[in-house]
Amino acid sequence: MQPIDLAFDQRHIWHPYTSLTSPLPTYPVASASGVEIVLEDGRHLIDGMASWWSAVHGYNHPELNQAAHTQIDRMAHVMFGGITHGPAIDLAKQLVAMTPEGLDAVFLADSGSISVEVAIKMALQYQVSRGLQGKNQLLTIRQGYHGDTFAAMSVCDPINGMHELFTGILAKHHFAPAPTIKPWEAWHDSETDALEALFEQHHDRIAAFILEPIVQGAGGMRFYHPNYLRKARALCDQYDVLLIADEIATGFGRTGRLFACEHANVVPDIMCVGKALSGGYMTLAATIATRHIAETIGAGPGGGALMHGPTFMGNPLACAVAAQSLGMIQRGDWQEQVDAIALQLKQELTPLHACAGVADVRCFGAIGVVEMHSPVDVAEAQKFFVDLGVWIRPFGRLIYVMPPYIIKPAQLSQLTHAISAWCQRGK
């Protein structure tokens, strides 16, 4: 094998959210297996990130590998226009069965951002189909993250999402304050006053309310009270607004329920899933709507067609692996695993409250967050963690982990000890 050409990488390849001209260091990976990432230089790292929420079963899983091998020997891809195939049907069956009752119309998208685009398009087309063209704006909450394409970006937090870079291009929507009451704190009805006021004032312009249920991920790693979500559902019903739940980060068990909406017993009108959908193997996402939405769009203008259709829609390879992954979730131990991770994270991270640089420690499901008072130097922290044999990638003031569900207690302790060492270094 050729040695890795890092100089070429640094000069020619953009990595996520980085500058091409003053790139941060990148670590060449040779392979990954279970909860370990193996670097080209032979070092093994315990993975705290599950490759951004996705590798819930760990890497190089024999069952997922087998599903990919079996499918690739039949066909890697075939167009989805006018054609269907077993893997797409298997996957959609499982999605309909697993998602909350009532969600049963599946659109297979090629990434999380696209599934959000499709959800927004569905909501707008639904309103047009009812003759309510004026309902063409969205409502969301601050500190949210819904993806990097333009419609998704327009409902990301205006500051985190750097809306000012794209003024005049991003559609203008309505932003409610971010929820502040955490799931374990006492509820006050005043929490939703500002949200209610926005509904009252603008409902005749609003097609849908989009939010991440219970856990706001990339927009700040914040957890909020299920009553907020219940109230959101009630307000959507009262004011004839669709509820879109972006479960791309939270879906498939991460928060201790299969879907975070279940913490509030809320069923959205449209749900987006991605990330863990294919067990972290391939890019795949889905937008799942109620039959009512599908039927309303179906009776609308343009022959009732939903106007979206990516080239790689329903990619059989991705669908086959995702169907296998969902099967493993349905018959597996995710509930016990996530509960155990939740407990251990709480026990081992909570004492870090006492560290001088730490502003907050919060854990929910298999997610542990340490918020510092000041921004973390990513390059420095990354090297520190790699030297300790763990893979943890901070952003902003946040050091956080959401490991593969299969992580063992001793491996999880390696992650929390490394975070602890970072908080206490030099003291």
Which tokens belong to 247? 């479960």
Does 369 engage in binding with ligand PLP (CB under 6 A)? Answer: no
Q: Which stretch binds ligand PLP (CB under 6 A): 139-147, 187-195, 233-241, 356-364?
A: 139-147
Q: How far is the CB of 201 from ligand PLP (least distance, A)?
A: 26
How many residues touch ligand PLP (CB under 6 A)?
Answer: 15
When the beta carbons of 214 and 329 are compared against ligand PLP, the nearer one is 214
Closest to 407 measured CA to CA, from 66, 2, 45: 45
Which tokens belong to 397? 């003031």
Does 117 engage in binding with ligand PLP (CB under 6 A)? Answer: no
Out of 57, 135, 142, 146, which residue is the one contacting ligand PLP (CB under 6 A)? 146
In sequence order, the β-bridge partners of residue 372 are 358
Out of 71, 94, 99, 113, which residue is the one contacting ligand PLP (CB under 6 A)? 113
Q: How far is the CB of 44 from ligand PLP (least distance, A)?
A: 27
DSSP, collapsed to helix, strand or coil, labels residue 222 as strand
Question: Restricting to residues 184-243, which ones interact with ligand PLP according to CB under 6 A?
Answer: 212, 217-218
Closest to 369 measured CA to CA, from 213, 222, 159: 222
d(CA 392, CA 402): 9
d(CA 60, CA 35): 9
- In the block, which residue shows the tokens 């207690």? 409
Do residues 330 and 323 make contact, with C-beta atoms less than 8 angstroms apart? no
Does 112 engage in binding with ligand PLP (CB under 6 A)? Answer: yes
Does 371 engage in binding with ligand PLP (CB under 6 A)? Answer: no
Residues 6+ apart with CB under 8 A from 7: none
DSSP for 14-28, please give it. PPTT--SSSPPP---
Residues 6+ apart with CB under 8 A from 34: 58, 59, 60, 404, 406
Does 116 engage in binding with ligand PLP (CB under 6 A)? Answer: yes
When the beta carbons of 218 and 317 are compared against ligand PLP, the nearer one is 218
Q: How far is the CB of 249 from ligand PLP (least distance, A)?
A: 3
Q: Which stretch binds ligand PLP (CB under 6 A): 144-152, 225-233, 300-308, 320-328?
A: 144-152
Q: Which stretch binds ligand PLP (CB under 6 A): 78-86, 183-191, 244-252, 311-319?
A: 244-252
Residues 6+ apart with CB under 8 A from 393: 49, 378, 382
Q: How far is the CB of 31 from ligand PLP (least distance, A)?
A: 23
As annotated, the active-site residues are 17, 145, 246, 275
When the beta carbons of 364 and 422 are compared against ligand PLP, the nearer one is 364
Q: How far is the CB of 212 from ligand PLP (least distance, A)?
A: 5
Q: Which stretch binds ligand PLP (CB under 6 A): 108-116, 171-179, 328-336, 349-357?
A: 108-116
Torsion angles phi and psi, residue 52, rounded to 5: 55, 65
Does 253 engage in binding with ligand PLP (CB under 6 A)? Answer: no
Other C-beta atoms within 10 Å of 370: how many?
Answer: 30
Q: How would you class 11 by CB atoms within 10 Å of its CB: exposed for 0-12, middle for 13-18, buried for 19 or more?
A: exposed
Does 95 engage in binding with ligand PLP (CB under 6 A)? Answer: no
Classify strands 242-246 and 270-273 as parallel, antiparallel or unpaired: parallel
Q: How far is the CB of 145 from ligand PLP (least distance, A)?
A: 5
Which tokens belong to 409? 């207690």
Out of 71, 94, 99, 111, which residue is the one contacting ligand PLP (CB under 6 A)? 111
Q: How far is the CB of 283 from ligand PLP (least distance, A)?
A: 7
When the beta carbons of 113 and 382 are compared against ligand PLP, the nearer one is 113
Q: Which stretch binds ligand PLP (CB under 6 A): 66-74, 143-151, 191-199, 407-415?
A: 143-151
Question: Restricting to residues 256-285, which ones interact with ligand PLP according to CB under 6 A?
Answer: 274-275
The CA–CA distances, whole Å, from 296 to 48, 130, 260, 290, 293 equal: 43, 7, 27, 10, 5
Out of 147, 179, 213, 253, which residue is the one contacting ligand PLP (CB under 6 A)? 147
Q: How far is the CB of 248 from ligand PLP (least distance, A)?
A: 4
Which tokens belong to 29? 């990976």
Q: Reduce the secondary structure of 318-344 to three states and give it as a string.
A: HHHHHHHHHHHHHHCCHHHHHHHHHHH
Residues 6+ apart with CB under 8 A from 60: 31, 32, 33, 34
Q: Which stretch binds ligand PLP (CB under 6 A): 56-64, 105-113, 359-367, 374-382?
A: 105-113
| Contacting residues toward ligand PLP, per CB under 6 A | 111-113, 116, 145-147, 212, 217-218, 246, 248-249, 274-275
